[in-house]
Amino acid sequence: MLITQIKAPQRELDQGRREGKQAVVTMEFKAAVFTAAALAVLLCSPASAQKSPPAPAPVSVSIPPSLAPAPAPAPRYVDLAALLDVAGPFHTFLTYLQKTNVIETFQRQANKTDEGITIFVPKDSAFAALKKSTFSNLTGDQLKTLLLYHAFPKYYPLAQFRNLSVLNPVDTFAGSPYTLNLTDDMGTITVESMWSKPKISSSVYATKPIAVYSINKVLLPMQLFSKDPPLAPAPAPAPESGASDIAPSPGGAKAGAGNGKADSTSAGYVGAANCLGLLAAAAGGLMLLW
């Protein structure tokens, strides 16, 4: 009985020790959790974020200039009015283009680098060869059509005219009814309309997208002219300058030559008469001596 009473307090003491150890372990675990939480709060706070080392700057990669694509060149526009004004004696044609605003139509077409334009420009002498009434009888729309008839809505260098002649008739800027026939005879190119067949006398400008060729006659379509327009009267020939009084004329030289011949003949007659006179005197003297 006494032994049982002694063991009971011992068991209670052991149980208390175990509970005390468990309490200590629990407190240490709570302290560790608290410490970890505090450290986490400190690390996530703005102050700790400011103290963190800055992120490395991104490395920039420079592209060598040679690898960069070259910019596309700006299109080169040619002022057609300025070109025709200085290129040759095309003032009559240019005046009509500006008067009807067809020059603006040609300029817009010239600025389309994909298509371009080909213009046949008559010289001033070609217009002077026609009577003035040839164009004065045309309406404003007919005059525009006549000017548009002198162009193709596409750029054609001279080297392509041989192939272009196979497509005859070729549509002009005036539309499908207004066509031209082209011939290339060993480099001599003829542009044929109903009432005129001018030849390309020279290349004024031929760089894509613009080709300008000089012709010696005005292109006259039958849609605008029912018959061949009359030509202007030929100018009177310039009077010849009179012969100089100093320089001998061919006629004067002949006359002089003839006079010289006559003088020499008369001189011969005089010499013969003198000889006969001497012979007669000698004969008379001999008769007296006889």
Is a pLDDT exceeding 60 seen at residue 276? Answer: no
Which tens digits make up the pLDDT trace of 149-159?
Answer: 999 999 999 99
- What is the arithmetic mean of pLDDT over 17-21? 68
Can you read off the two tokens belonging to residue 125? 């002498």
Interacting residues of 150 by C-beta distance below 8 A, sequence separation 6+ = 93, 119, 120, 121, 122, 172, 173, 219
Beta strands of 186-263 (E only): which ranges? 188-192, 200-207, 210-215
The pLDDT score that the predictor gives to residue 43 is: 60
Per-residue pLDDT reduced to its tens digit, 126-154: 999 998 888 888 999 999 999 999 999 99
- 172 touches 148 (CB < 8 A): yes
Residue 69, pLDDT > 50, answer yes
- pLDDT for the residue 288: 39
The arithmetic mean of pLDDT across residues 160-177, rounded, is 93
Residues 6+ apart with CB under 8 A from 202: 88, 213, 214
Question: Is the pLDDT reported for residue 71 higher than 50?
Answer: yes
3-state class of 172 per DSSP?
Answer: strand
Q: How many of the other CB atoms lie within 10 Å of CB of 121?
A: 24
Mean pLDDT of the 173-196 span? 93
To the question of pTM greater than 0.75 for the whole model, the response is no
d(CA 114, CA 208): 9
pLDDT at position 279, please? 45
